[in-house]
């Protein structure tokens, strides 16, 4: 029961936060000197009348605060509006979200399934050559800028011809049978996944290692060892459970990055995901589209934190006691 | 000590990796300088003009090009976000227009070699002796992609209910308003349409190349009003709903990835063996985000044709001999790079001058503009910025225009002494190599361009250097594209700007938005209210020439006027032209019926191209 009230409270708290986020982002975008019609204005074949029509259609002839209220009113009613090309924003987001999710879910799955065990391994084998090697590798992973790594891999793809150069599907994708489709998707996903995986793996592995090392130093582990428990039991039954808490918080952040975490890599690989869409929208000051994605980002971050907190309450009796 | 070895090891690994990647990617400089000569392609032999052939009562268009093989795919690319609409009447950007025009033919089109207007969807046409009435005879028996016949009703509907009614992009409508009147479009019979303008209007014939819509599909949409029409046939419309007249029709659009066109089985063009064109099964446009990605895709063999620029040409030329592509130099393109000078002497709504009066005096001084023109080293820019792949430009019409004033193309070299002579003539003087005007003001102004465009930024640096040789102080300020447009179109508070625009090689009248005194892009003397006030004497002259030239019908009459117009701009120099880039395109050797043309490019005749 307490948990439910807690969740409700948290949800209510997000409302003013969202209003604030929307206000700030809306005004920053609109007050920036970006003119959504700049391209048209410099096109000698576009007449004045067409320009006027466009200005009216995009609502640019109204004062900013009116524009904001119009947007907010529609948003509250669940209408994300239309983007500057006249298509519905919701439809545009809908066609990109699955692509981005496909990439990020695979990456998160891989990093967690590989990163956490590697972290544990490194902590147990602390200061052995294995630990050192992992440290060097993860340092490289953390240090390499994602776009640079992505470009290197693209050049690799061009030189070897083993992988397609960016994109998600080949042009004849729709004429393929299922097996060929899966193979095609896999070939396209390998490189972007490698980039994102390398980079987030490093952070996760270091975090897990540090947590476990912390715990391994603590008194109750020493006590458990002194009691004569097997090393396996000490680590997996006592130490690991306590080391996992910060990881749950991290998982909450990972949830937030599901939709927005891969923008740079998406751009370099020409991956048809949200990142590229939003970047192009920002450059054109396509207000409805940008606002929708910013709000989505904010909601995902809040939701991710909420989920992490709830998970913590479930896994950690100490928090439960304090909260109760 | 051990650590050092680790570091050294990693360092060596990185070096090896870099070496592998960079190897063979650095172009040799000597290649670049000889390019101009090497690239000039062999004389292209264009096929004769397509004929109309009647078989079983159907008036087919017969291509006279070599007979090819059927089947295959051509993969091209488009940079940016892809099309915004597939409705040919709504397009406002180049990509959307290309995609929509693939699917729709107009009554007429242009010959790729001479630019002559030739019938396309129409069988033939006559222009009355007074130049006001155009009678078009349509082809009998040709069909839309859904099998319905293409008739005069479609033409009349497209013009009267869409183009002239102001739906979608109204630019076509705005360009055919003559003395406040729209042309009249009437149906004579099922296969004859008559267009009447109140005065002879030369650009009209080419404008008649506008797409024709299928009435049975568009009529319901038109009835639902302008707002509905704006989103009609958008990118979310299922491709099977499209009914088209062009050689290809949309098969699939995958946002941010590709656009796939398939052959239209009802297309009305045949080859010399009377087989129905087009040859290719599919045309695919991959949507790529930027130039770099496009180049990678071409190198990986994912796309078949690519426009090349700058340093890439050198690299590709070197590899050409061993590769599966041919590089074509199509000559100067329609793009023009220029420096515009703000001659505006108006005040804004608050009573403040757009341009500081002291600067106004300089900019409105013809001698000052001459000095700037003479100080600029165009050849240097061509060699160093465009890698030799450009031609110095002195005219407002691009070098491939059929109306180019050939007397002016040679121009003049950089001549700093002559420049100084003109400045002295207007009372400018130097003190310690610093230039002052006759009132003792230091000559200092801003030079803008859009940041991020490396070519224009490089030009800016060179222009600044050249002008500083004259003792002027130039503050070169690359600003964000949108801010720049805002300055040029709204706030008008700029001094000099480096810009580029694309024109039409066939129709100089399209430049009227720039050159007409009330034009929306009359950069150098923009009138925010659009009223022809305070016209400079030569602006009056230009207005008159533009009006007159549009009312003349024969090429010779118009050429005379447009020669004069280029001469005036050359003499007055409100815009100082720098160079026109050369268009270089690579396409894989496997394609047949490739006839590169300076007017149309390389892969324009998609209906005739086949795979050898």
Torsion of the alpha carbons at B556, B562, B567 and B573, rounded to the nearest 10: -170
Percentage of chain B modeled with pLDDT above 90: 50
Query: For position B72, what pLDDT does the model report?
Result: 92
B36 pLDDT more than 50:
no
Decide if A164 touches B, using CB distance below 8 A.
yes
Put simply, the chain A residues between 81 and 110 with a CB less than 8 A from any chain B CB are: 82, 85-88, 91-92, 95-96
Residue recorded with tokens 């890439």: B312
Which among A158, A169, A277 is the nearest to B257, CB-wise? A169
The reported pLDDT for the residue numbered A10 is 83
Residue B33 has pLDDT above 50, yes or no: no
Radius of gyration of chain B from its Cα atoms, rounded to whole angstroms: 27
pTM to 2 decimal places: 0.83
Fold of B336-581: Dipeptide-binding Protein; domain 3 (3.10.105)
In 3D, which of A250, A241, A236 has the Cα closest to residue A206?
Answer: A250
Choose among B230, B257, B502: nearest Cβ to A167. Answer: B257
Q: Which fold has domain B108-222?
A: Dipeptide-binding Protein; domain 1 (3.90.76)
Q: Are B128 and B137 in contact (CB under 8 A)?
A: no
pLDDT (tens, 9 = 90+) of chain A, 324 residues, equals 577 888 888 888 888 989 998 999 888 888 876 677 777 777 766 777 777 877 887 778 888 888 888 888 888 888 888 777 777 888 888 888 899 889 989 999 999 999 888 988 888 888 888 889 888 888 888 888 888 888 888 888 888 888 888 888 888 888 888 999 999 999 999 999 999 888 888 888 888 888 888 888 888 888 888 888 888 888 888 888 888 888 888 888 888 888 877 888 888 888 888 888 888 888 777 888 888 888 888 888 888 888 888 888 887 777 665 544
**CA–CA dist A92, B440 (Å, integer):** 60
Mutation to test the B interface, candidates A30, A38, A58, most B Cβ within 10 Å = A38
Our CA-based measurement puts residue B169 at a distance from the nearest CA of chain A, in whole angstroms, of 6
Q: What's the CA gap between B66 and B64, in Å, rounded?
A: 7
In angstroms, what CA-CA distances link B599 with B110, B420, B503?
9, 39, 11
Query: From CA B518, how far away is CA B601, in angstroms rounded?
Result: 33
Listed residue (A50, A85, A185) closest to B96, CA to CA:
A85
Beta bridge partners of B134: B127, B195
Q: Please, what's the b/e burial string for B68-97 (b: 16 or more CB within 10 A of its CB; e: otherwise)? A: beeebebbbbbbebbbbbbbbbbbbbebbb
Structure tokens at A148: 């640079």
Chain B residues touching residue A289 (CB < 8 angstroms)? none
What confidence tier does B144 reach under pLDDT thresholds 50, 70, 90?
very high
- SS3 call for B67: coil
Interchain contact A19–B (C-beta under 8 A): no
Q: How far apart are CA B55 and CA B554, in angstroms?
A: 35
Closest by Cβ to B170, choosing from A50, A174, A285:
A50
Q: What is the pLDDT of residue A223?
A: 86
Distances (CA, A) of B427 to A77, B430, B436: 68, 10, 9
CATH topology of B29-82+234-333+583-611 equal to that of B108-222?
A: no
Residues 39-68, chain A, touching B (beta carbon < 8 A): 39-51, 53-54, 57
CB burial class (10 A; 0-12, 13-18, 19+) of residue B286?
Answer: buried
State the pLDDT at residue B18.
73
Q: What's residue B412's pLDDT?
A: 87
Q: In B, which residues are within 8 Å of A265 by CB distance?
A: none
Which fold is adopted by the domain B29-82+234-333+583-611? D-Maltodextrin-Binding Protein; domain 2 (3.40.190)
User: What mean pLDDT comes out for the span B91-102?
Assistant: 86
Pairwise pLDDT comparison (B101 vs B342), residue with the higher score: B342
pLDDT reported for residue B17: 75
User: Phi-psi category of B168—alpha, beta or left, where left has phi over 0 and alpha has psi -120 to 50?
Assistant: left
| Alpha-carbon distance A258 to nearest alpha carbon in chain B (angstroms) | 20
Phi-psi region for residue B113, left (φ > 0), alpha (ψ -120 to 50) or beta? alpha
- Which residues, including other chains, have CB under 8 Å from residue B552's CB and lie 6 or more apart? B200, B202, B558, B561
Say yes or no for a CB contact (<8 Å) between B300 and A157: yes
- What is the per-residue pLDDT across B492-513, written as a single tens digit (0 to 9) for each? 889 999 998 888 888 888 888 8
Q: Three-class SS string for B362-407? A: HHCCHHHHHHHHHHCCHHHHHHHCCCCCEEECCCCCCCCCCCCCHH
> Residue A261: what pLDDT?
72
What is the ipTM, given to two decimal places?
Answer: 0.81
**pLDDT exceeds 60 at position B24:** no
Q: Which residues contact A318 (CB under 8 A, 6 or more apart)?
A: none
pLDDT in the model for residue A322: 54
Q: Does the structure show a pLDDT above 50 at B26?
A: no
Find the length of chain A. 324
Q: Which residue has the tokens 């904001």?
A: A68
Q: How far is A60 from chain B (nearest CA, A)?
A: 14
Instruction: Kindly tell me if the per-residue pLDDT of B30 is higher than 50.
Output: no
Question: Measured between CA atoms, how close is A176 to chain B, in angstroms?
Answer: 14
DSSP string covering A90-138 = HHHHHHHHHHHHHHHHHHHHHHHHHHHHHHHHHHHTTTSHHHHHHHHHH
Q: What is the pLDDT of residues B516-570, one digit of tens each?
A: 888 888 989 988 887 888 899 999 999 999 988 888 888 888 999 999 999 999 9
Phi, then psi, of B319 in degrees rounded to 5: -85, -10
Contact check, Cβ <8 Å, B501/A267: no
Write the Ramachandran bin of A270: left for phi over 0, alpha for psi from -120 to 50, otherwise beta: left
- CA closest to B167 among chain A residues: A50
**Exposure letters B111-139 (e unless 16+ CB within 10 A, then b):** ebbebebbbbbbbebeeeeebbbbbbbbb
In whole angstroms, what is the distance from residue B235 CA to residue A210 CA? 50
Are A276 and B530 within 8 A, CB to CB?
no
Question: Cβ separation of B486 and A35 shorter than 8 Å?
Answer: yes
Please write the tens of the pLDDT for every residue from B279-318: 999 999 999 888 888 888 998 889 999 988 777 888 888 8
Annotated domain spans of chain B: 29-82+234-333+583-611, 108-222, 336-581
Q: What is the mean pLDDT of chain B?
A: 88
**pLDDT of amino acid B21:** 60
Minimal Cα distance from A281: which residue of B?
Answer: B81
DSSP B69-93: ----EEEEEEESS--SB--TTT--S
CB contact under 8 A, B489 and A157: no
Report yes or no: B522 and B546 within 8 Å, Cβ to Cβ.
Answer: no
């Amino acid at each position: 029961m307490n948990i439910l009230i807690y969740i409700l409270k948290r949800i209510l708290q997000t409302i003013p936060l969202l209003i604030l986020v929307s206000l700030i982002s809306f005004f920053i975008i609109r007050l920036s000197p970006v003119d959504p019609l700049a391209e048209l204005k410099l096109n000698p074949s576009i007449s004045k009348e067409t320009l006027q029509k466009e200005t009216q259609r995009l609502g640019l002839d109204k004062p900013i605060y009116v524009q904001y209220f119009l947007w907010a009113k529609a948003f509250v009613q669940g209408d994300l509006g239309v983007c500057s090309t006249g298509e519905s924003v919701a439809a545009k987001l809908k066609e990109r979200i699955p692509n981005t999710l496909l990439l990020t879910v695979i990456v998160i799955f891989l990093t967690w399934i590989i990163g956490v065990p590697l972290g544990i391994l490194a902590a147990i084998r602390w200061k052995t050559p294995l630990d050192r090697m992992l440290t060097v590798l993860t340092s490289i992973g953390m240090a390499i800028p994602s776009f640079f790594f992505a470009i290197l891999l693209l050049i690799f793809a061009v030189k070897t011809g083993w992988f397609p150069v960016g994109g998600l599907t080949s042009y004849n994708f729709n004429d393929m049978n299922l097996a060929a489709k899966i193979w095609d998707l896999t070939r396209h996903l390998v490189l972007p996944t490698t980039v994102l995986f390398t980079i987030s793996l490093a952070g996760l592995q270091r975090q897990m290692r540090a947590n476990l090392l912390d715990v391994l130093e603590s008194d109750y582990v020493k006590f458990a060892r002194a009691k004569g428990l097997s090393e396996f039991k000490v680590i997996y039954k006592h130490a690991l459970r306590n080391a996992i808490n910060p990881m749950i918080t991290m998982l909450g952040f990972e949830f937030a990055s599901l939709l927005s975490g891969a923008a740079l890599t998406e751009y370099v690989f020409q991956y048809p995901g949200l990142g590229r869409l939003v970047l192009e929208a920002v450059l054109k000051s396509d207000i409805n589209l940008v606002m929708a994605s910013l709000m989505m980002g904010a909601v995902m971050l809040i939701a991710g934190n909420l989920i992490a907190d709830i998970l913590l309450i479930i896994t950690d009796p100490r928090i439960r006691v304090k909260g109760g | 000590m051990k650590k050092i070895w680790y570091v050294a090891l990693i360092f060596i690994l990185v070096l090896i990796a870099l070496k592998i990647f960079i190897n063979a990617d650095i172009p040799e400089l000597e290649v670049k300088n000889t390019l101009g000569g090497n690239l000039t392609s062999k004389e292209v032999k264009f096929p004769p003009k397509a004929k109309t052939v009647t078989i079983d009562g159907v008036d087919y268009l017969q291509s006279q090009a070599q007979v090819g093989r059927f089947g295959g795919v051509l993969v091209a690319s488009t940079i940016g976000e892809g099309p915004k609409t597939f409705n040919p009447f709504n397009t406002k950007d180049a990509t959307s227009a290309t995609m929509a025009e693939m699917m729709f033919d107009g009554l007429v089109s242009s010959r790729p070699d001479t630019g002559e207007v030739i019938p396309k969807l129409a069988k033939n046409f006559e222009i009355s002796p007074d130049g006001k009435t155009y009678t078009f005879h349509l082809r009998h028996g040709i069909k839309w992609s859904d099998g319905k016949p293409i008739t005069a009703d479609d033409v009349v509907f497209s013009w009267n209910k869409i183009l002239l009614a102001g739906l979608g992009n109204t630019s076509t409508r705005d360009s055919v308003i003559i003395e406040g009147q729209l042309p009249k479009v009437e149906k004579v019979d099922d296969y004859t349409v008559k267009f009447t303008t109140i005065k002879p209007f030369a650009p009209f014939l080419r404008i008649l190349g506008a797409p024709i819509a299928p009435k049975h599909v568009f009529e319901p949409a038109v009835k639902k009003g302008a707002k509905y029409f704006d989103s009609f046939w958008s990118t979310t419309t299922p491709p099977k709903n499209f009914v088209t007249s062009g050689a290809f029709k949309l098969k699939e659009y995958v946002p941010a990835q590709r656009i796939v066109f398939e052959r239209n089985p009802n297309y009305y063009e045949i080859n010399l063996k009377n087989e129905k064109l087009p040859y290719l099964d599919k045309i695919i446009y991959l949507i790529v985000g930027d130039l770099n990605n496009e180049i990678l895709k071409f190198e990986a063999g994912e796309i078949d044709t690519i426009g090349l620029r700058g340093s890439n040409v050198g690299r590709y030329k070197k590899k050409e001999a061993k590769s599966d592509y041919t590089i074509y130099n199509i000559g100067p393109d329609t793009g023009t790079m220029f420096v515009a000078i703000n001659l505006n002497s108006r005040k804004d709504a608050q009573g403040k001058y757009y341009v500081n009066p002291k600067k106004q005096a300089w900019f409105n001084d013809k001698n000052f503009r001459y000095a700037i023109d003479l100080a600029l080293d165009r050849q240097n820019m061509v060699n160093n910025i465009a890698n030799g792949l450009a031609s110095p430009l002195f005219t407002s019409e691009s070098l491939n225009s059929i109306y180019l004033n050939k007397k002016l193309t040679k121009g003049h070299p950089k001549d700093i002494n002559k420049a100084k002579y003109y400045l002295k003539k207007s009372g400018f003087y130097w003190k310690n190599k610093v230039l002052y005007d006759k009132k003792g003001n230091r000559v200092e102004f801003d030079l803008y361009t859009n940041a991020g465009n490396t070519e224009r930024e490089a030009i800016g640096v060179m222009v600044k250097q050249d002008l500083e040789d004259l003792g002027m102080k130039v503050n070169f300020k690359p600003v964000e594209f949108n801010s720049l447009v805002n300055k040029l179109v709204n706030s008008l508070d700029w001094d000099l700007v480096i810009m580029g625009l694309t024109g039409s090689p066939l129709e100089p009248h399209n430049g009227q938005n720039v050159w007409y005194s009330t034009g929306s892009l009359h950069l150098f003397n923009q009138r925010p209210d659009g009223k022809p006030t305070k016209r400079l004497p030569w602006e009056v002259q230009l207005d008159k020439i533009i009006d007159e030239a549009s009312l003349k019908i024969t090429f010779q009459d118009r050429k005379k006027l447009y020669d004069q117009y280029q001469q005036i701009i050359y003499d007055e120099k409100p815009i100082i032209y720098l160079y026109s880039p050369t268009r270089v395109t690579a396409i894989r050797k496997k394609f047949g019926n490739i006839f590169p043309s300076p007017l149309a490019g390389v892969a324009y005749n998609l209906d005739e191209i086949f795979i050898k």
